[in-house]
């Protein structure tokens, strides 16, 4: 599998990065995880506008899904070749309604489903193209999912947005790359069931036995180096910060 960080800024975009969006590729199949603010522009650095094969939305906060409205325009009003065929989109209950409402002026209430084929995510195991994926509900104010993606004996686990939860320890068990949010800073912000801090991300990686940790979703007002230091204090494996445009072979 190849992972490309399309955007990794937490909560709102930074000067260096769009919000959450990660491209996962294997066997020529392209699965995008989340499409937050600014992600659609960055995505075009890494693949063609119409070259995605499926999209997974971890939850419906704007910083994870709002560029789907822009992508609707690109697919619905495509200039050459006509309207795009529906692209599989996996998201929580209400994804189509959320995006239609956010767009505010779709030609009809069902226009989104002309270019997106919506599938409702529940905690389960299923196939997306060549990937076997496991989804679990995590601890966040809205229905939110973490996802484990397996291919060719390797695995990638993405936390989405979450507070501390044993569910994530289990989902990320022995995973090869753990892409984990660390939006908060230890000793600074502490709101249960919202976000992890760097230390909690490191502790989760340790409990899970994750082989590599990549911290992501760090907002522009937070010092990422502090969160990375906090994670390294409690996690002995390789740990680093996600950077927009960086790729990983898993
Ligand atoms: Zn978020
Ligand atoms: Zn969120």
pLDDT at 180: 99
Closest ligand, as measured to the CA of 162: 2
Please give the distance, rounded to the nearest whole angstrom, from the Cα atom of residue 205 to the centre of ligand 1: 19
What is the pLDDT at residue 51?
98
- Closest-CA residue to 39 (of 11, 10, 64): 64
Whole-model pTM over 0.85: yes
| Residue whose token pair is 């989405």 | 160
pLDDT one digit per residue (tens) for the chain, 250 residues: 999 999 999 999 999 999 999 999 999 999 999 999 999 999 999 999 999 999 999 999 999 999 999 999 999 999 999 999 999 999 999 999 999 999 999 999 999 999 999 999 999 999 999 999 999 999 999 999 999 999 999 999 999 999 999 999 999 999 999 999 999 999 999 999 999 999 999 999 999 999 999 999 999 999 999 999 999 999 999 999 999 999 999 9
**DSSP E strand stretches across the chain:** 2-7, 21-26, 29-33, 54-56, 87-91, 116-120, 124-128, 131-137, 145-151, 154-158, 177-181, 213-216, 239-241, 247-249
What pLDDT is recorded for position 156? 98
Ligand 2 center–CA 11 separation, angstroms: 7
For residue 19, the CA-to-ligand 1 centroid distance in Å is 8
Ligand 2 mean position, distance from CA 184 (Å): 12
């Amino acid at each position: 599998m190849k992972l490309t960080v399309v955007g990794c800024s937490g909560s709102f975009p930074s000067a260096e990065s769009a919000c959450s969006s990660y491209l996962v590729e294997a066997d020529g199949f392209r699965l995008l995880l989340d499409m937050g603010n600014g992600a659609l522009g960055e995505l075009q650095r890494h693949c063609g506008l119409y070259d995605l094969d499926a999209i997974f939305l971890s939850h419906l906060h704007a910083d994870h899904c709002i560029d789907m409205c822009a992508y609707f325009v690109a697919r619905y009003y495509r200039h050459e070749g006509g309207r795009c065929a529906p692209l599989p989109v996996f998201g929580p209950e209400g994804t189509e309604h959320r995006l239609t409402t956010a767009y505010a002026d779709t030609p009809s209430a069902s226009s989104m489903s002309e270019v997106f084929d919506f599938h409702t995510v529940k905690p389960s195991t299923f196939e997306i193209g060549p990937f076997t994926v496991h989804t679990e509900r995590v601890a966040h104010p809205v229905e939110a999912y973490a996802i484990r993606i397996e291919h060719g004996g390797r695995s990638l686990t993405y936390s989405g947005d979450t507070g501390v939860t044993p569910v994530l320890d289990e989902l990320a068990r022995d995973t090869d790359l753990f892409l984990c949010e660390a939006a908060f800073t230890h000793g600074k912000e502490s709101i249960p069931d919202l976000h992890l801090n760097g230390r909690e991300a490191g502790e989760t990686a340790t409990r899970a036995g994750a082989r590599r940790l990549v911290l992501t979703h760090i907002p522009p007002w937070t010092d990422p180096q502090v969160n990375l230091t906090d994670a390294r204090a409690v996690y002995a494996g390789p740990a680093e910060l996600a950077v927009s445009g960086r790729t990983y072979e898993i």
